[in-house]
């Protein structure tokens, strides 16, 4: 199934807004790669280079009251939904002014005020958390929706089917958004998914399943706009599968031996930012306007990195803070 939203050209300001989001995600992820290689970040990092169109298109279609649940590869989702890049970068650098006070790292960034209910290191759990959040919205009568991001590697997990079944039964305001980036950790799509499209599974639960070109941010934006409107209006869930491509390995340092040499060398040809630049030119957006937006986006991330590095690490006294609930008052 494909989206029925008319593919009319969006206003130029909307094109520039989506372009800005993608450029900020690209700059952030490149800064993460550089910082990790320099040994400035503890732990592992999983970047979303090449997948900017999916994150920007999906989150760019949401309203302030909408919510997202994310994955271990969630930097782009968090940025596009409004998380602060400085606090995100501080968390990756293990600084006390990070979102988790420097203790949680890349895979657990959350900003509830921005509608980011958390990245998640447990494969598929974003879907269960999303169902819970959507149920809360429904029970409280809020006209908002949830977008639960997951990858095709999570599509065969038990929680994926349980979440979609429950969401269908209760007609919850949720969009299940699969970033189908061709690899689940080190395994190619075709060895662990039984169908050509993850979105085809939606039919078993009685709600729409949509396949969209994840390299086309405008197409992603249209599809999520329609699905989110349907969810907010009581129409229930939608499953969107964005076909995209992960430039880097599963984690930074992954030698990607599971890819052919040609794929490792030419994977960057699938570039959602370059694709929007070309389309924007056809729609009359001046190259100078795009260049200005790109420069501003890159400057914002450069400033965020510099700020993060200036912050202090967490004190030892914070080690058990936020771990245990406060004892009830007498």
pLDDT in tens, 69-108: 999 999 999 999 999 999 999 999 999 999 999 998 999 9
Would strands 238-243 and 174-180 be described as parallel, antiparallel, or unpaired?
parallel
| Torsions phi, psi for 311 (to 5 deg) | -80, 160
> What does the domain layout of the chain look like in residue ranges?
12-314
pLDDT value, residue 133: 98
Contact, 65 vs 103, CB < 8 A? no
Say which residue the tokens 């980036």 belong to.
Answer: 181
Say which residue the tokens 């950790």 belong to.
Answer: 185
pLDDT value, residue 189: 87
Token output for 148: 């639960």
Query: What's the CA gap between 42 and 40, in Å, rounded?
Result: 7
pLDDT value, residue 322: 82
- Three-state DSSP at 239 gives strand
- Of 182, 184, 186, 162, give the one whose Cα is nearest residue 172: 162
Token output for 48: 């979303």
pLDDT value, residue 327: 61
Report how far apart, in Å, the C-alpha atoms of 95 and of each of 77, 89, 102, 169, 244 are: 21, 9, 4, 43, 32
Query: CA torsion 300→104→121→74, rounded to 10°?
Result: -10
Q: Which CATH superfamily is domain 12-314 in?
A: Thiamin diphosphate (ThDP)-binding fold, Pyr/PP domains (3.40.50.970)
pLDDT value, residue 7: 65
- Compute the C-alpha angle 46/48/50, nearest 5°: 145
What's the alpha-carbon Rg for the chain, to the nearest Å?
19
pLDDT value, residue 4: 43
Say which residue the tokens 């306007």 belong to.
Answer: 289
Query: What's the CA gap between 165 and 154, in Å, rounded?
Result: 15
Query: What's the CA gap between 34 and 31, in Å, rounded?
Result: 5
Give me the half-sphere count of Cα atoms (radius 13 Å) on the Cβ side of residue 195.
Answer: 14
Report how far apart, in Å, the C-alpha atoms of 323 and of each of 103, 109, 182, 189, 318 are: 11, 16, 37, 38, 10
pLDDT tens over the chain, length 330 residues: 544 444 677 899 999 999 999 999 999 999 999 999 999 999 889 999 999 999 999 999 999 999 999 999 999 999 999 999 999 999 999 999 999 999 989 999 999 999 999 998 899 999 999 999 999 999 999 999 999 999 999 999 999 999 999 999 999 999 999 999 999 988 988 889 899 999 999 999 999 999 999 999 999 999 999 999 999 999 999 999 999 999 998 989 889 899 988 888 877 888 999 999 999 999 999 999 999 999 999 999 999 999 999 999 988 888 888 887 776 655
């Amino acid at each position: 199934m494909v989206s029925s939203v008319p593919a009319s050209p969006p206003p130029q300001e909307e094109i520039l807004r989506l372009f800005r989001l993608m450029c900020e995600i690209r700059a952030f992820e490149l800064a993460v790669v550089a910082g990790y290689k320099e040994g400035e970040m503890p732990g592992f990092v999983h970047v979303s280079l090449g997948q900017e169109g999916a994150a920007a298109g999906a989150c760019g279609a949401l309203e302030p009251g909408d919510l997202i649940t994310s994955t271990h590869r969630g930097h782009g989702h968090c940025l596009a939904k409004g998380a602060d890049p400085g606090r995100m970068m501080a968390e990756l650098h293990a600084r006390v002014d990070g979102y988790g006070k420097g203790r949680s790292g890349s895979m657990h960034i959350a900003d509830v005020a921005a509608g980011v209910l958390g990245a998640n290191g447990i494969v598929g759990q974003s879907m269960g958390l999303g169902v819970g959040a959507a149920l809360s919205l429904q029970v409280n009568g809020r006209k908002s929706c949830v977008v639960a991001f997951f990858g095709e590697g999570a599509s065969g997990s038990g929680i994926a089917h349980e979440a979609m079944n429950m969401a269908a039964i209760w007609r919850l305001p949720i969009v299940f958004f699969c970033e189908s980036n061709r690899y689940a950790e080190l395994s190619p799509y075709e060895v662990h998914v039984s169908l050509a499209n993850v979105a085809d599974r939606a039919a078993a639960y009685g709600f729409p399943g949509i396949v969209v070109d994840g390299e086309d941010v405008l197409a992603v934006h249209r599809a999520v706009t329609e699905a989110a409107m349907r969810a907010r209006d009581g129409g229930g869930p939608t499953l969107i599968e964005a076909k995209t491509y992960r430039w880097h390995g599963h984690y930074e340092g992954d030698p990607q031996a599971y890819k052919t040499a040609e794929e490792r060398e030419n994977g960057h040809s699938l570039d959602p930012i370059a694709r929007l630049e070309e389309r924007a030119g056809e729609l009359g957006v001046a190259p100078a306007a795009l260049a200005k937006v790109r420069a501003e986006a890159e400057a914002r991330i450069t400033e965020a990195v510099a700020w993060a590095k200036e912050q202090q690490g967490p004190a030892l006294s914070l080690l058990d803070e936020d771990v245990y609930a406060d004892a009830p008052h007498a």
